[in-house]
Amino acid sequence: MNSAAPFDTLNQLKFDNRVNRSLPVDPSEINTTRQVHGACVSRVLPENVIAPHLVAASAEMLEVLNLAPEEAQNPEFAEVFSGNKQLEGMDPYAWCYGGHQFGNWAGQLGDGRAINLGEVINRQGEHWVLQLKGAGMTPYSRMADGLAVMRSSVREFLCSEAMHHLGVPTTRALSLVSTGEQVMRDMFYNGNAREEPGAVVCRMAPSFIRFGNFEIHASRKENDILRQLTTFVINSEFSELGDPATSAHPQAIYIRWFNEVCRRTADLMVHWMRVGFVHGVMNTDNMSILGLTIDYGPYGWLENFDLGWTPNTTDASGKRYCYGNQPQIGMWNINRLANAIYPLIGEVEPLEEAIRSYSDRFNQGQREMMAQKLGFAQWREGDDDLISGVVALLQMVETDMTLFYRMLSKVDKQESGVDADLELLQSCFYDDAYKNDTYKDALKRWLDSYRQRLLDDNFENVDRKQGMDLVNPKYVLRNYLAQIAIDKAEAGDYSEVKKLLDVMRKPYEEQPGLEQYAEKRPLWAMNRPGCSMLSCSS
């Protein structure tokens, strides 16, 4: 937005609410947990809280809404984004959706602790849904209370913004508000429930529609609603594909749309693998139809490189959603979406072809991404051996993935000796195992091949480093950093939340004086709850 343009106040926000205007709405507005049939959404109001207080707000998302930074300091801001007050034009609702959870159909799920306040149209003509997470019960809350705690809210707020600045498609976060109330939670579902400070995050996205939105109506054979929903999504978010409602061949538009969803999902998986992000709970109800990272629950960042690592205690035994499985789970979820929209198309082959395109798109994207991480001008035949070699090397000893790739950009393309290389890379290792002869020999062999490949590209060291540093972040939201911020926030000190928000705005820059935010996991955090494993509890 032009900095000279006047800012709006909260009360000047313009709401459209095309969801409630265009799709079937639950006729009952009684906010009780129940099965909702024949509707896409249910109207519901957030619960009031006793003492809303702004913890932090995203300056970038305030600007997207054409709001001045000072508007967040207005006491009304905390009232609105805790759920205590609705602005004129808001028409709050919760989505009905289903999903496959850990590979099994779970039936109706829905927005159990998310309430969409409404859809803002900013001066640029963009549509942004404002969604409160943790603002109370909805008809889809099942056995839960619809609330959220500071612990999970800090993690969602910070990671939403951190991922955006890493260049990863994601929902965004506008604000984090403490409620002044206590919420009972059993963090690891082990019978040790305790009261924790409550909080509400306001998330933003063009749409929060998921794969599960289509699955629920397909499972109930509500094909007319399925068609309405799919047409609405295409016209709202993929309008360049054409309008199925007026087309003589709507099936062709549905197929083109499904291909686009496959493409975006494949690209998202490439990004997750690039930065070492592990979502932790890739159920189909947590897959965005826009190819965004959505629902930051028990996520984690790879610290020591481990293809089998999962941050989710519920997934600890099966490791279905571990780091290395994410691309194939993305494809599995795409298959579930294909099954859901099949009634609109009536043909298997075009859906299967689109699913194959997901695999092709991911494989090509992964190769190109790894070539960039390694500092090559582009991927070429023969690079697969170097790529598989560095993946094997990372697993030989406990190696910090983020630091390794960042330090690799400093390796001179001329031979400097394995001891010099180890001295350069030593900050990447978690113990002294890298000093053994087996690892040193493997590192030397790989670096010899790597250097030869760099000589073939004929880049100067400084140019290669500059390119690598644009795709290999120095700063990521490490699990222990988030936990430090949580510990302080639970005690009423929000300074570290704001500090991390600022640091994560520039993940690829050096940021002199802030190097401590780029350090590898300390020993105290190795098995600390919140730093190593988490549950879906929030």
* Residues annotated as catalytic (active site), given as ranges: 285
How far is it, in rounded angstroms, from Cα 136 to Cα 46? 6
10 Å CB burial of residue 284 (0-12, 13-18, 19+) is buried
Contacts for 479 with CB less than 8 Å, ≥ 6 apart? 300, 301, 303, 311, 521, 525, 530, 531, 532
Backbone φ and ψ of 132, nearest 5°: -90, 130
The dihedral sign for the CA sequence 373, 374, 375, 380: negative
Three-state SS at 432 = helix
End-to-end CA distance of the chain: 35
- Residue 198 structure tokens: 């409550």
- Residue 481 structure tokens: 């950093």
Beta-carbon count within 10 A of 75 CB:
10
Q: What is the DSSP letter of 246?
A: T
Hey, which bits of 267-312 come out as E strands? 277-278, 300-301
Q: Which of 35-67 are b and which e, b meaning 16 or more Cβ less than 10 Å from the residue's Cβ?
A: ebeebbbbbbbbbebeebebbbbbbebbebbbb
CB 521, CB 300: distance < 8 Å: no
What are the CA-CA distances from residue 380 to residues 2, 383, 394 (Å)? Answer: 43, 6, 22
- Residue 61 structure tokens: 């998302």
Q: ∠ CA(66), CA(506), CA(518), 5° rounding?
A: 145
What are the CA-CA distances from residue 426 to residues 65, 404, 422, 464, 468 (Å)? Answer: 45, 9, 6, 21, 19
The dihedral sign for the CA sequence 7, 8, 14, 19: positive
Q: Which run of H or E residues covers position 448?
A: helix 437-457
Looking at the DSSP bridge assignments, the partners of residue 119 are 129
Edge-first strand listing for the sheet containing 194-205: 41-43, 93-95, 114-121, 127-133, 194-205, 172-185, 53-57
Beta-carbon count within 10 A of 6 CB:
9
Looking at the DSSP bridge assignments, the partners of residue 127 are 121
CB 503, CB 513: distance < 8 Å: no
CB 394, CB 401: distance < 8 Å: yes
